[in-house]
Amino acid sequence: MASVGKILRRTFLIGSAAIVGGVAFGAYYVSRPAANPLKPAKGETALSPFVLIDQQGVTLFAPRAEMGQGVRTTWAALIAEELDVELDQIRVLHGPAAAAYYNSALVGEGLPNKGYDISDFQHNLGEALGVLGRTLSLQVTGGSTSMKDGFERMREAGATARETLKQAAADRLGVDRAQLKTENGAVVAPDGTRIPYTELAEAAGQIEPPEVELRDPSNWRLLGRSLPRVDVVGKSTGTAEFGIDVRPEGLKFASVRINPKLGGEMKGFDASAAEQMPGVEKVVDLGNGVAVIASNTWLAIQAVEAIDVDWGDAPYPPETDAVFAEIAKSFDASPNSTMRDDGDVDTLPDGATEITVEYTVPYLAHSTMEPMNATALFTGSALELWCGNQAPTLVQIRAANTANLDKEAVQIHTTYLGGGFGRRGELDFGEIATKVAMAMPGVPVQTTWSREEDMRHDYYRPGAMARMRGAVKDGQAVLIDGKVAAQSCTQQAVQRYTGLPAGGPDKVLVEGFFNQPYAVPNYRMSGHIADLDIPVGFWRSVGNSHNGFFHETFMDEVAHAAGRDPLEFRLELAKADHAPSAGCLQAVKEMSGWTGETPDGVGRGVAMTYSFGTPVAQVIEVVDEDGTIRIAKAWIACDVGLALDPGTVESQMFGGMIYGLSAAVMGEITFSDGEVEQYNFPDYDALRMHNAPVTEVKILETNHHMGGAGEPGTPPSMPALGNALFDLTGERARTLPLINQFNLLV
Amino acid sequence: MATALKINGKQHQVDLPDDVPLLWVLRDEVGLTGTKFGCGVAACGACTVHIDGEAVRSCQVALSDVWGDVTTIEGIGTPDAMAAIQQAWVDHQVAQCGYCQSGQIMQAAALLAENPAPSDTDIDDAMQGNLCRCGTYPRIRAAIHDAASKLKEA
Angle at which helices A543-561 and A646-666 cross, to 10°: 80
Kindly report the nearest CA distance between residue A600 and chain B, in angstroms. Answer: 24
Interface touch B37/A371, C-beta < 8 Å: yes
Interface touch B98/A416, C-beta < 8 Å: yes
Kindly report the nearest CA distance between residue A280 and chain B, in angstroms. Answer: 12
Interface touch A659/B74, C-beta < 8 Å: no
A70, A238, A297: residue with CB nearest B28: A297
What residue type is A648 in one-letter code?
T
Query: In the A/B pair of chains, how many CB contacts fall below 8 A?
Result: 195
What is residue B112's predicted lDDT score, i.e. its pLDDT? 98
Interface touch A232/B94, C-beta < 8 Å: yes
Name chain B contacts of A247, Cβ cutoff 8 Å: 31, 33
Give the residues across from B85 on adjacent strands. Answer: none
Kindly report the nearest CA distance between residue B121 and chain A, in angstroms. Answer: 8
- A151 C-beta neighbours (distance < 10 Å), count: 18
- Tell me how many degrees the CA angle A591-A593-A705 measures, rounded to the nearest 5: 35
Output DSSP code: residue A553: H
> What gap in Å lies between CA A55 and CA B69, rounded to an integer?
44
Interface touch B127/A448, C-beta < 8 Å: no
Kindly report the nearest CA distance between residue A232 and chain B, in angstroms. Answer: 6
Closest CA to B79 of B68, B64, B90, B94: B90
> What gap in Å lies between CA A133 and CA A440, rounded to an integer?
36
Name chain B contacts of A684, Cβ cutoff 8 Å: none
- Which residues, including other chains, have CB under 8 Å from residue A417's CB and lie 6 or more apart? A65, A66, A67, A68, A242, A243, A368, A370, A388, A389, A390, A424, B97
Interface touch B105/A236, C-beta < 8 Å: yes
Going along chain A from its start, the domains and CATH numbers come out as 2-226 (3.30.365.10), 243-313+372-448 (3.30.365.10), 320-364+460-740 (3.30.365.10)
B39, B73, B102: residue with CB nearest A681: B39
Q: Give the pLDDT means over successive 10-residue stretches in chain A (746 positions).
A: 34 69 72 37 55 88 89 93 94 82 66 63 51 57 79 90 95 96 96 95 89 94 96 98 98 98 98 98 98 98 98 98 98 96 96 98 98 98 97 93 95 96 96 98 98 98 98 97 97 85 89 96 98 97 97 98 98 96 98 97 98 97 98 98 96 98 98 98 98 98 93 98 98 98 97
Q: Find the radius of gyration of the CA atoms of chain B.
A: 15
A235, A421, A688: residue with CB nearest B98: A235
Decide: A390 and A424 in contact? Cβ < 8 Å.
Answer: yes
A236, A367, A450: residue with CB nearest B101: A236
Interface touch A369/B43, C-beta < 8 Å: no
Interface touch B99/A242, C-beta < 8 Å: yes
| Average pLDDT, rounded, for chain B | 97
Decide: A610 and A684 in contact? Cβ < 8 Å.
Answer: no
Name chain A contacts of B34, Cβ cutoff 8 Å: 237-239
Helix (H, G, I), strand (E, B) or coil at A730: coil
Going along chain B from its start, the domains and CATH numbers come out as 3-75 (3.10.20.30), 77-153 (1.10.150.120)
Interface touch B141/A689, C-beta < 8 Å: yes
- Which residues, including other chains, have CB under 8 Å from residue B121's CB and lie 6 or more apart? none
Interface touch A682/B41, C-beta < 8 Å: yes
A447: Cα within 13 Å, side-chain hemisphere = 31
- Which residues, including other chains, have CB under 8 Å from residue A186's CB and lie 6 or more apart? A194, A195, A196, A197
Closest CA to B8 of B79, B55, B57, B75: B75
For residue B122, what is the nearest residue in chain A, using CA coordinates? A690
Helix (H, G, I), strand (E, B) or coil at A612: coil
State the best of A64, A74, A236 to mutate against chain B, taking most chain B CBs within 10 Å. Answer: A236
Give the residues across from A469 on adjacent strands. Answer: A356, A481
Strands (E), A664-719: 671-672, 675-676, 694-700
Q: Is the dihedral of CA A437, A440, A444, A449 positive or negative?
A: negative
Element (H, E) at A80: helix A71-83
State the best of A689, A697, A711 to mutate against chain B, taking most chain B CBs within 10 Å. Answer: A689
**Entry pTM:** 0.94
> What gap in Å lies between CA A92 and CA A94, rounded to an integer?
7
pLDDT in tens, chain B (154 residues): 699 999 999 999 999 999 999 999 999 999 999 999 999 999 999 999 999 999 999 999 999 999 999 999 999 999 999 999 999 999 999 999 999 999 999 999 999 999 999 999 999 999 999 999 999 999 999 999 999 999 998 7
For residue A69, what is the nearest residue in chain B, using CA coordinates? B96
Produce one character per residue of A70-100: b if its CB has 16 or more CB atoms within 10 Å, e if not: bbbbbbbbbbbbbbbbebeebebebbbbbbb
Name chain A contacts of B38, Cβ cutoff 8 Å: 369-371, 451, 681
Kindly report the nearest CA distance between residue A700 and chain B, in angstroms. Answer: 21
A238, A451, A662: residue with CB nearest B38: A451
Name chain A contacts of B102, Cβ cutoff 8 Å: 238
Indicate the burial class of A532 (C-beta count within 10 angstroms; 0-12, 13-18, 19 or more): buried
B74, B95, B141: residue with CB nearest A235: B95
- Which residues, including other chains, have CB under 8 Å from residue A229's CB and lie 6 or more apart? A70, A72, A73, A648, B93, B95
B21, B23, B134: residue with CB nearest A655: B134
Helix (H, G, I), strand (E, B) or coil at A189: coil
What residue type is A638 in one-letter code?
C
A241, A417, A451: residue with CB nearest B39: A451
B111: Cα within 13 Å, side-chain hemisphere = 29
Decide: A432 and A374 in contact? Cβ < 8 Å.
Answer: yes
Interface touch B17/A279, C-beta < 8 Å: yes
- Which residues, including other chains, have CB under 8 Å from residue B153's CB and lie 6 or more apart? none
ipTM: 0.98
Angle at which helices B101-114 and B84-91 cross, to 10°: 130
Output DSSP code: residue A187: E
Kindly report the nearest CA distance between residue A397 and chain B, in angstroms. Answer: 26
Kindly report the nearest CA distance between residue A504 and chain B, in angstroms. Answer: 34
Interface touch A231/B105, C-beta < 8 Å: no
Interface touch A238/B100, C-beta < 8 Å: no
- Three-state secondary structure along A27-75? ECCCCCCCCCCCCCCCCCCCCEEEEEEECCEEEEECCCCCCCCCHHHHH
Name chain A contacts of B129, Cβ cutoff 8 Å: 688
B23, B78, B93: residue with CB nearest A228: B93
B36, B79, B133: residue with CB nearest A239: B79
Interface touch B20/A695, C-beta < 8 Å: no
What is residue A152's predicted lDDT score, i.e. its pLDDT? 87
DSSP letters, chain B, are --EEEEETTEEEEE-S-TTSBHHHIIIIII--TTS--S-SSSSS-TTEEEETTEEEEGGGSBGGG--S-EE-HHHH-BTTB--HHHHHHHHTT--SS-TTHHHHHHHHHHHHHH-SS--HHHHHHHHTT---TT--HHHHHHHHHHHHHHHHH-
What is residue A108's predicted lDDT score, i.e. its pLDDT? 58
